[in-house]
Amino acid sequence: MYFDPGVKERREDFFNFNEELNTLIKELNNQSTRMIVIKGVRRTGKSSLIRVGLSMSGLPHVILDARKFEYFSVDTFYDMLASSLSKLLETRKSVSKYLKSVKGVSISGLTLEFSFRGSWTFTEVLEALNKWGEECGEPIVLAFDEAQDFLIFPRFDSLLAHVYDYLSYVKLVLAGSEVGLLDRLLGVKKVKAPLSGRPYTTIVMKRLSREEAIEFLREGFRQAGVTINEVFLEDAVSVFDGVIGWLTYYGYQALRVGHEEAITKTLEEGSKLVQEELENFLSIRPQARTRYLTILKLLTTPLTWSEVKAGLSAKLKKTISDKQLTHYLRELVNYGFVEKINSEYVIADPVLKSAARGLRI
Ligand SMILES: Nc1ncnc2c1ncn2[C@@H]1O[C@H](COP(=O)(O)OP(=O)(O)OP(=O)(O)O)[C@@H](O)[C@H]1O
Ligand SMILES: [Mg+2]
In DSSP notation, 88-133 reads HHHH-TTHHHHHHTSTTEEEETTEEEES---TTHHHHHHHHHHHHH
The confidence score (pLDDT) of residue 358 equals 86
| Residue to substitute in 48, 215, 221, 272 for testing ligand 1 pocket (most ligand atoms within 8 angstroms of CB) | 48
- Overall average pLDDT of the 326-349 stretch: 94
In this predicted structure, what is the pLDDT of residue 146? 92
- Atom 26, ligand 1: residue with shortest CA distance: 43
Residue 69, pLDDT > 80, answer: no
Structural fold of domain 17-204: Rossmann fold (3.40.50)
Q: Which amino acid residue places its CA nearest to atom 11 of ligand 1?
A: 245
Name the fold adopted by 285-357: Arc Repressor Mutant, subunit A (1.10.10)
For residue 42, the CA-to-ligand 1 centroid distance in Å is 9
Residue type, 34: R
Distance in Å, CA 145 to ligand 2 centroid: 6
CA of 4 to the centre of ligand 1 (A): 10
- CATH 1.10.8.60 placement within the chain: 210-276
Tell me what the mean pLDDT of segment 80-106 comes to. 94
Q: Is residue 139 over pLDDT 90?
A: yes
What is residue 287's predicted lDDT score, i.e. its pLDDT? Answer: 92
- The candidate with the shortest Cα–Cα distance to 156, out of 77, 99, 60, 69, is 77
If one residue of 12, 21, 41, 47 were mutated to test the ligand 1 pocket, choosing by the most ligand atoms within 8 A of its CB, it would be 47
Provide CATH 1.10.10.10 ranges for the chain.
285-357
> What is the distance in A from the centroid of ligand 2 to the CA of 304?
30
If you average pLDDT over residues 134-139, what whole number do you get? 94
Band (131; pLDDT cuts 50, 70, 90): very high
**What pLDDT was estimated at residue 45?**
97
Write down the pLDDT at residue 261: 97
User: Which pLDDT does position 178 carry in this prediction?
Assistant: 86
Every domain range in the chain assigned CATH 3.40.50.300: 17-204
Q: Which residues pair with 107 in a beta bridge?
A: 112
Task: Report residues whose beta carbon is within 6 angstroms of any ligand 1 atom.
Answer: 2, 5-8, 14-15, 17, 40, 42-48, 67, 177, 244-245, 248
Euclidean distance between CA atoms 217 and 215, whole angstroms: 5
| Residue 108 in this model has a pLDDT that exceeds 80 | yes
Ligand nearest the Cα atom of residue 266:
1
Which carries the bigger pLDDT value, residue 213 or residue 361?
213
The rounded Cα 8 to chain-centroid distance in angstroms is 13
Identify the CATH number of the domain defined by range 210-276. Answer: 1.10.8.60
> What average pLDDT does the segment 339-354 reach?
94
Segment 188-213, tens digit of pLDDT: 888 889 999 999 999 999 999 999 99
Percentage of the chain modeled with pLDDT above 70: 100
Q: CB-hemisphere CA count at 13 Å for 111?
A: 4
Distance in angstroms (rounded) separating the CA atoms of residues 140 and 126: 10
